[in-house]
């Protein structure tokens, strides 16, 4: 499961050889550890004109104990800044983008290892003149390209903020901190839309899920187990769900994180009721459900039989409808509370398709459709519905892929390496945070800006 | 302080594996720890200090002198949870449950786990008795010369290990031989035994299929279901097996209608009402009462495994119940013939009058209420683990039904029988 | 006039057997000697008691098994039979019956006075039989008595032999199965001192006309009493009759049936059903051996 190349080419002789051979030299990514400072250094903050979010950004950084320098075309960076935050949300003309070019150039040049670029914009659909919309849409092209130009584990992402949410520290706080932090190590080139929403800020930013009850399906191993660990770290009471046959690993995960093991096949007719019953033993209501359980039954489409087709759709998608129906019923004891979170695990296969995975891609694309529609239905109840789409993640499953295919999969992204299960888990935990109330109906790719399905 | 109500709050076991196969490398301690940890995971008991854990094993290594405590220390329970070993042959698991239930009832503790573990794959081999004595003598020797002279007395013939004996020490007969004698005395037929066996397999398979064991069993070492389970078992297939116990017309007992040697472990969580409430746990069933009986199978004329009817008679009398006042009967299937002999005896006026001192026979039971989720013939029987398996199964059956009462009966080596009553908790 | 031999300690049995063998050709006469062998103040060796309890299936405690006292008496019996005036050869004698009366439990710490004599020479349909009578007292109180009847095959004495008696009716209830190991003869010899070659090695047994090694009759009697040791009263008579010898190794079935407060005992071959030993335990000292 370890990425030997990444370790090897970063050590002594290996490093020399790699440089000589011209092998890609992936950086060891900075990842989150409890209590870790938001960024390792100062943050350069700039904007176009009177950036409407600059003040909020400065406050958020100050709260996190991070000092900032003003980023202008003329700033000379004495020390390497850890991140650059650029507020372009006020830009409505193409000319104004010159300001962005002139400011970001020197800042990005000075950026240290594992650097972060976060561009703030205004959601193009909310800008009602053509040049304004084009200007805001251009930000996506810029951040996606910069993502590919970032060096040494750096990432570039975009926050598209709805006009009503401009300057709203409440809704900006969690998304900005996520993108700046090491929790987004494997997220790059991605836009996240932020809406106006009521936000109950977390008492402890290092334990944002304190006291919340979270159900995680498929939690016995791989990404699911890691989600359970990250949720527990964030303070959640985790109910870890997996099929009875995986009960031993499930028990080990539950005991490791101090959670509750629930042996349950998510396709069971009464799966929702049994989850609600388990929740009601801990609390009156459920705060977060993570639909992570999934299977693959790969075959070329023409060779895919009814069983392979049906089982994948049933486990990966249909089961979510059944469980959601019960858990979203306000009369269900142990059901999802208003203001709760639904997070599904999609896949870049569901975005870009994959040979031999028509059934799997169908289910994962279906998840994306589900998320987009359900988020709107549940907006009134302030329940957010989101998905993450993992790219190449180093798991037991990918360890079984033949080495050549695996190496290609690993390197075909801007960070030149596979992600870790924890990267997916961090993104999911971000969606679950109280501060992410303004983020709904979105599919966040955790893929190191993979070229697949891009 | 009057006794408090005691509730079964949950149960867990690992799937039972056939001896010498999947759990070959697992010790009693490994398996008991796994069973406890599964229970901890299911009921969110990590780091919890329970009142106590009582468990045991029938076949035990000398190194396992503190088996249960060691299992607790290896588990995710608080290391400050006290524990002790119990051993009452196949009654171990149920007797452990009775012990902790009584302590909870008396208010001495509020919560407990009772359980058991047994492996015949990792059974201790003893050194030859003469060799053992010689080695002990050498060990006690005060001078090197004494030690050497003691060790020189070792003879090659002493180096052969003593095989563990699967027999009653006082009769030299295996349990199967004893049961064959009783089965013949009660006229239990081969067909009736095979039918009961098939029912056990079918009931267990159906219970697995409907997810009944989803919250009662945690897989272990790649085993997800009881390895002995044969859902396709039929009377026709069983009828082809050769008898292995008894001679002549008493030879009705086969490997099919007897439980095979099995490895496994189980654990049951019990607690007071308040404790359950504080820990957000749902009481499944109330532990009502229990009774243990013993018979003189050595020189008396009672069968080795015939103690349960005696215990049942006394238990019913004390609780003012009749044998028919139950919705579930969990009678441990040491052998199919054991269950059938118990049922026959309880129906027999002469037996009930002369042996049990009853004016009226205990009577017959509704066989559709017997071992409805399968029992030892299908699941297997790792001696000390069977009690926990049955207590958890019955508690869940009662919880599902939402009302009613169940009777547990377990026969054990040494002419012992442990029986208990559980009631659905309201 | 009675000749009395006073022993200060139990005689070593090996030399006695050897002496008896040497004297065999010189034996003559058809009358028992008027001889009493005595040992005053015999003490129990607790190590021997522990070893005996292990071999014969008794729990180890301070009360002596009734059959253990036979072990203390046996050297004196041998002394009588090895005496120059004893008419028959000791080696090859067959133990036919044994009756023990325990008047009260005897404790390991007590000082035992033992007295043995031979009596009642009479014909047997296979030779001649003699009773060896033993009495054990503690400070003048008779606590234990025994009569052991031995057969001397092919020896003729005047009189008419009694009938064989009717075939015993055997119980039908199932019994316990004991596996009798091939070394039980040597093990019992080690704790009892009865080193008769027929019990030790198959060669010795064959030399004396047996197909292979045989278990000591008194081992079977002891093992049977051991199985019932916690169910016997303080005062009882234990009588056994040895039938076919137990060829070892072997499996035997032991049945003990209770009638009121008495027990009937039968020891048979587990496979063939041939009878090795019949016995009874009757409470109270029903009889006193005189």
Best of B129, B162, B299 to substitute, by most chain C Cβ atoms within 10 angstroms, is B299
B126 secondary structure, DSSP code: B
Assess whether the region A34-194 and the region A213-446 belong to the same CATH fold: yes
The tokens describing C42, both together, are 């015999």
Inter-chain touch B171–C173, beta carbons under 8 Å: no
ipTM, two decimals, is 0.79
Best of C57, C174, C279 to substitute, by most chain B Cβ atoms within 10 angstroms, is C174
Does residue A268 surpass a pLDDT of 50? yes
Q: Chains that contact C by 3+ CB pairs under 8 Å? A: B
pLDDT at C267: 94
pLDDT at B164: 52
| Chain B closest-CA separation from residue C176 CA (Å) | 4
Angle of helix A319-327 relative to helix A358-377, nearest 10 degrees?
A: 20
Q: What are the φ and ψ backbone dihedral angles of A265, each rounded to 5 degrees? A: -85, 120
Spatial distance between the Cα atoms of C96 and C245, rounded to a whole number of angstroms? 10
Best of C51, C55, C176 to substitute, by most chain B Cβ atoms within 10 angstroms, is C176
Q: Give the β-pairing of B111-118 and B52-55.
A: parallel
Does residue C65 surpass a pLDDT of 90? yes
Spatial distance between the Cα atoms of A77 and C18, rounded to a whole number of angstroms? 115
In the block, which residue shows the tokens 């027990």? C263
Inter-chain touch A251–B215, beta carbons under 8 Å: no
Comparison of pLDDT for A415 and C85, the residue scoring more: C85
Q: Give the β-pairing of C236-242 and C94-102.
A: antiparallel
For C252, the closest chain B residue by CA position comes to: B172
Inter-chain touch C228–B170, beta carbons under 8 Å: no
Spatial distance between the Cα atoms of A218 and B350, rounded to a whole number of angstroms? 59
Q: What percent of chain A has pLDDT over 70?
A: 94
Inter-chain touch C178–B301, beta carbons under 8 Å: no
| Chain C closest-CA separation from residue B298 CA (Å) | 8
| Chain A closest-CA separation from residue B71 CA (Å) | 15
CATH number for the domain including C124?
A: 3.10.129.10
| Full-model pTM | 0.83
Does residue B230 surpass a pLDDT of 50? yes
**Coil, strand or helix at A402:** coil
Of B38, B221, B224, the CB nearest to A251: B38
Contact predicate C263/C236, CB 8 Å: no
Spatial distance between the Cα atoms of B38 and B214, rounded to a whole number of angstroms? 12
In the block, which residue shows the tokens 């092919």? C154
Inter-chain touch A260–B37, beta carbons under 8 Å: no
Q: What is the pLDDT of residues A50-78, one digit of tens each?
A: 788 888 888 898 888 888 888 888 888 88
Comparison of pLDDT for B329 and A185, the residue scoring more: B329
Q: What are the φ and ψ backbone dihedral angles of C223, each rounded to 5 degrees? A: -60, -40
Spatial distance between the Cα atoms of C255 and A338, rounded to a whole number of angstroms? 78
pLDDT at A10: 57
Inter-chain touch A252–B280, beta carbons under 8 Å: no
Residue B41, chain A, CB below 8 Å: the answer is yes
Q: What is the pLDDT of residues A332-370, one digit of tens each?
A: 888 999 999 999 999 888 888 888 888 898 999 999 999
Beta strands per DSSP E along B273-359: 285-294, 328-331
- Give the A-side interface with B, CB within 8 Å: 244-248, 250-252, 254-255, 258-265, 268, 281-282
Contacts of B280 in chain A (CB under 8 A): 281-282
DSSP string, B206-268: HHHHTTGGGGTB--BTTB-S-TT--TT--HHHHHTSPEEESSGGG--EESSSBPPPEEEEEEE
Q: What are the φ and ψ backbone dihedral angles of B347, each rounded to 5 degrees? A: -90, -15
Comparison of pLDDT for B39 and C172, the residue scoring more: B39
Q: What is the pLDDT of residues A175-225, one digit of tens each?
A: 999 999 999 989 998 899 999 888 887 778 789 999 899 999 999 988 999
Number of domains in chain C: 1
Q: What is the pLDDT of residues B129-183, one digit of tens each?
A: 676 777 777 777 777 777 777 777 767 666 665 555 567 888 888 888 888 889 9
Residue B12's pLDDT band (boundaries 50, 70, 90)?
very high
End-to-end CA separation in angstroms for chain C: 19
Of B41, B214, B282, the CB nearest to A244: B214
pLDDT at C92: 75
Which residue range is the domain that position C20 belongs to?
3-156+169-283
Does residue A149 surpass a pLDDT of 90? no
Active site residue B90: yes
Strand partners, C275: C268
Of C173, C176, C178, the CB nearest to B301: C173
- For the segment A399-420, the average pLDDT, to the nearest whole number, is 76
Q: Return the domain boundaries, chain A.
A: 1-30, 34-194, 213-446
Each residue of C60-96: b (16+ CB within 10 Å) or e?
eeebbbbbbbbbbbbbbbbbbbbbeebbbbbbbbbbb
- For the segment C211-225, the average pLDDT, to the nearest whole number, is 94
A129 secondary structure, DSSP code: S
pLDDT at A41: 87
Continuous segment of H or E residues that includes residue B107: none
At the top level of CATH, the class of A34-194 is alpha beta
Contacts of A250 in chain B (CB under 8 A): 41, 218
Q: For A213-446, which CATH superfamily applies?
A: NAD(P)-binding Rossmann-like Domain (3.40.50.720)
Task: Tell me which of A145-154, B126-135, B345-354, C46-55 is least confident.
Answer: B126-135
At the top level of CATH, the class of B175-211+287-424 is alpha beta
Q: What are the φ and ψ backbone dihedral angles of B321, each rounded to 5 degrees? A: -120, 160
| Chain B closest-CA separation from residue C175 CA (Å) | 7
Contacts of C178 in chain B (CB under 8 A): 172
Average pLDDT value over all residues in chain B = 91
Quick one: C211 exposed, middle or buried, by C-beta within 10 A (0-12, 13-18, 19+)?
exposed
Contacts of C263 in chain B (CB under 8 A): 299
pLDDT at C207: 83
Q: What is the pLDDT of residues B232-275, one digit of tens each?
A: 999 999 989 988 887 777 788 988 999 988 999 999 999 999 99
3-state SS, chain C, equals: CCEEEEECCCCCHHHHHHHHHHHHHHCCCCCCCCEEEEEEEECCCHHHHHHHHHHHCCCCCCECCHHHHHHHHHHHHHHHHHCCCCCCCCCCCEEEEEEEEECCCCECCCCEEEEEEEEEEEEECCEEEEEEEEEEEECCEEEEEEEEEEEEECCCCCCCCCCCCCCCCCCCCCCEEEEECCCHHHHHHHHHCCCCHHHCCHHHHHHCCCCCCECCHHHHHHHHHHHCHHHCCCCEEEEEEECCCCECCEEEEEEEEEECCEEEEEEEECCCCCEEEEEEEEECCCCCCC
Comparison of pLDDT for C58 and A29, the residue scoring more: C58
Does residue A3 surpass a pLDDT of 60? no
| Chain A closest-CA separation from residue B318 CA (Å) | 36
- For the segment A24-40, the average pLDDT, to the nearest whole number, is 82
Residue A15's pLDDT band (boundaries 50, 70, 90)?
low
Contacts of B43 in chain A (CB under 8 A): 260
Catalytic residue (choose from B43, B341, B342, B411) = B411
A&B contacts, CB < 8 Å = 68
pLDDT at C12: 80
Residue A4's pLDDT band (boundaries 50, 70, 90)?
low
Q: Return the domain boundaries, chain B.
A: 175-211+287-424
In a domain, C290, yes or no: no
Is the peptide bond prior to C249 cis by the omega test (within 30 degrees of 0)? yes
Does residue A18 surpass a pLDDT of 50? no
Residue A33's pLDDT band (boundaries 50, 70, 90)?
confident
């Amino acid at each position: 499961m370890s990425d030997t190349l990444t370790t090897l080419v970063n050590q002594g002789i290996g490093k020399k050889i790699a440089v000589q051979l011209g092998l890609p030299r992936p950086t060891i990514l900075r990842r989150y550890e409890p209590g870790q400072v938001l960024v390792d250094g100062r943050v350069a903050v700039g904007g176009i004109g009177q950036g409407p979010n600059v003040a909020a950004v400065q406050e958020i950084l100050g709260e996190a104990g991070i000092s900032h320098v003003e980023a202008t075309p003329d700033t000379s960076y004495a020390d390497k800044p850890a991140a650059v935050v650029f507020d372009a949300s006020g830009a409505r003309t193409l000319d104004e983008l010159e300001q962005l070019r002139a400011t970001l150039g020197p800042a990005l040049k000075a950026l240290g290892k594992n650097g972060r670029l976060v561009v703030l914009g205004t959601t193009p659909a909310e800008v009602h003149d053509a040049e304004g919309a084009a200007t805001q849409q251009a930000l996506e092209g810029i951040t996606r390209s910069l993502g590919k130009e970032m060096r040494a584990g750096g990432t570039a992402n975009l926050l598209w903020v709805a006009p009503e949410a401009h300057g709203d520290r409440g809704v900006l706080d969690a998304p900005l901190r996520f993108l700046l932090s090491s929790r987004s190590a494997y997220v790059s080139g991605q836009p996240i839309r932020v809406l106006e929403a009521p936000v109950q800020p977390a008492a402890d930013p290092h334990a944002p899920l304190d006291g919340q009850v979270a159900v995680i399906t498929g939690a016995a191993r791989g990404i699911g187990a890691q989600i359970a660990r990250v949720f527990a770290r964030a303070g959640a009471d985790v109910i870890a769900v997996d099929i009875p046959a995986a009960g031993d690993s499930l028990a080990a995960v539950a005991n490791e994180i101090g959670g509750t093991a629930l042996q349950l096949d998510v396709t069971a007719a009464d799966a929702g009721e049994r989850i609600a019953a388990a929740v009601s033993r801990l609390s009156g209501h459920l705060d977060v459900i993570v639909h992570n359980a999934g299977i693959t039954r790969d075959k070329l489409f023409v060779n895919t039989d009814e069983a392979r087709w049906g089982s994948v759709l049933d486990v990966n998608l249909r089961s979510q409808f059944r469980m959601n129906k019960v858990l979203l019923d306000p009369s269900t004891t142990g059901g999802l509370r208003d203001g709760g979170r639904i997070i599904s695990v999609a896949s870049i296969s569901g975005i870009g398709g994959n040979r031999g995975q028509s059934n799997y891609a169908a289910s994962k694309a279906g998840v994306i459709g589900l998320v987009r529609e359900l988020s709107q239905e549940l907006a009134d109840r302030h329940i957010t519905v989101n998905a993450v789409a993992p790219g190449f993640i180093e798991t037991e499953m990918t360890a079984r892929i033949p080495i050549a295919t695996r190496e290609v999969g690993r390197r075909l992204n801007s960070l030149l390496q596979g992600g870790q299960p924890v990267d997916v888990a961090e993104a999911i935990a971000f969606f679950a945070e109280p501060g992410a109330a303004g983020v709904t109906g979105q599919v966040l790719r955790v893929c190191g800006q993979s070229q697949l399905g891009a | 302080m009057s006794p408090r109500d005691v509730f079964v709050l949950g149960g867990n076991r690992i799937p039972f594996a056939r001896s010498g196969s999947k759990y070959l490398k697992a010790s009693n301690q490994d398996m008991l720890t796994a069973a406890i940890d599964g229970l901890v995971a299911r009921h969110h008991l990590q780091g919890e200090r329970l009142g106590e854990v009582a468990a045991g094993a029938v076949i035990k290594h000398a190194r396992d002198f503190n088996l249960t405590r060691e299992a607790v220390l290896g588990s995710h329970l608080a290391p400050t949870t006290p524990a002790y070993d119990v051993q009452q042959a196949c009654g171990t698991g149920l007797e452990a449950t009775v012990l902790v239930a009584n302590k909870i009832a008396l208010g001495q503790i509020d919560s407990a786990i009772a359980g058991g573990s047994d492996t015949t794959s990792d059974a201790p081999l003893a050194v030859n008795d003469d060799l053992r004595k010689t080695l002990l003598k050498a060990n006690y020797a005060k001078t090197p010369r004494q030690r050497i002279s003691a060790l020189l007395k070792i003879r090659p013939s002493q180096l052969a290990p003593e095989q563990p004996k699967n027999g009653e020490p006082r009769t030299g007969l295996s349990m199967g031989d004893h049961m064959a004698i009783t089965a013949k005395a009660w006229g239990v037929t081969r067909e009736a035994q095979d039918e009961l066996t098939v029912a056990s397999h079918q009931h267990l398979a159906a219970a697995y299929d409907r997810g009944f064991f989803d919250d009662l069993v945690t897989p272990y070492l790649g085993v997800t279901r009881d390895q002995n389970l044969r859902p396709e078992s039929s009377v026709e297939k069983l009828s082809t097996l050769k008898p292995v116990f008894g001679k002549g017309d008493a030879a009705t007992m086969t490997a099919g209608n007897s439980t095979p040697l099995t490895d496994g472990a189980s654990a049951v969580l019990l607690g007071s009402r308040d404790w359950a409430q504080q820990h957000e746990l749902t009481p499944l069933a109330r532990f009502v009462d229990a009774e243990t009986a013993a018979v003189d199978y050595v020189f008396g004329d009672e069968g080795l495994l015939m103690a349960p009817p005696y215990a049942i008679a006394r238990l019913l009398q004390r609780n003012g119940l009749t044998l028919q006042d139950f919705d579930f009967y969990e009678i441990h299937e040491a052998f199919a013939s054991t269950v059938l002999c118990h049922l026959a005896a309880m129906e027999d006026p002469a037996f009930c009058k002369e042996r049990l001192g009853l004016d009226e026979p205990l009577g017959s039971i509704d066989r559709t209420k017997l071992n409805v989720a399968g029992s030892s013939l299908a699941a297997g029987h790792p001696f000390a683990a069977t009690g926990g398996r049955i207590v958890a199964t019955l508690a869940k059956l009662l919880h599902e039904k939402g009302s009613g009462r169940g009777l547990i009966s377990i026969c054990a080596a040494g002419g012992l029988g442990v029986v208990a009553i559980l009631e659905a908790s309201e | 006039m009675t000749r009395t031999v006073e022993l200060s300690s139990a005689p070593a049995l090996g030399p006695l057997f050897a002496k008896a063998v040497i004297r065999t050709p010189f034996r003559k006469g058809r009358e028992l000697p008027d001889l009493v062998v005595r040992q005053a103040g015999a003490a129990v060796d607790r190590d021997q008691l522990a070893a005996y309890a292990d071999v014969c299936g008794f729990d180890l405690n301070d009360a002596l098994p009734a059959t253990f006292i036979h072990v203390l008496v046996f050297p004196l019996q041998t002394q009588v039979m090895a005496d120059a005036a004893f008419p028959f050869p000791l080696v090859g004698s067959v133990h036919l019956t044994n009756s023990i009366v325990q008047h009260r439990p005897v404790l390991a710490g007590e000082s035992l006075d033992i007295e043995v004599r031979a009596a009642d020479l009479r014909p047997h349909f296979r030779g001649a039989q003699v009773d060896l009578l033993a009495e054990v007292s503690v400070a003048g109180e008779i606590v234990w008595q025994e009569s052991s009847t031995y057969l001397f095959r092919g020896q003729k004495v005047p009189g008419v032999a009694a009938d064989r008696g009717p075939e015993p009716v055997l119980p039908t209830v199932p019994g316990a199965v004991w596996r009798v190991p091939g070394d039980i003869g040597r093990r019992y010899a080690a704790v009892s001192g009865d080193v008769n070659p027929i019990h030790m090695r198959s060669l010795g047994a064959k030399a004396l006309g047996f197909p292979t090694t045989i278990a000591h009759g008194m081992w079977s009697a002891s093992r049977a009493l051991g199985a019932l040791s916690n169910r016997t009263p303080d005062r009882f008579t234990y009588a056994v009759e040895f039938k076919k010898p137990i060829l070892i190794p072997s499996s035997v079935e032991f049945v003990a049936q209770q009638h009121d407060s008495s027990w009937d005992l039968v020891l048979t071959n587990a496979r063939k059903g041939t009878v090795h030993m019949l016995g009874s335990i009757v409470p109270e000292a029903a009889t006193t051996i005189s």
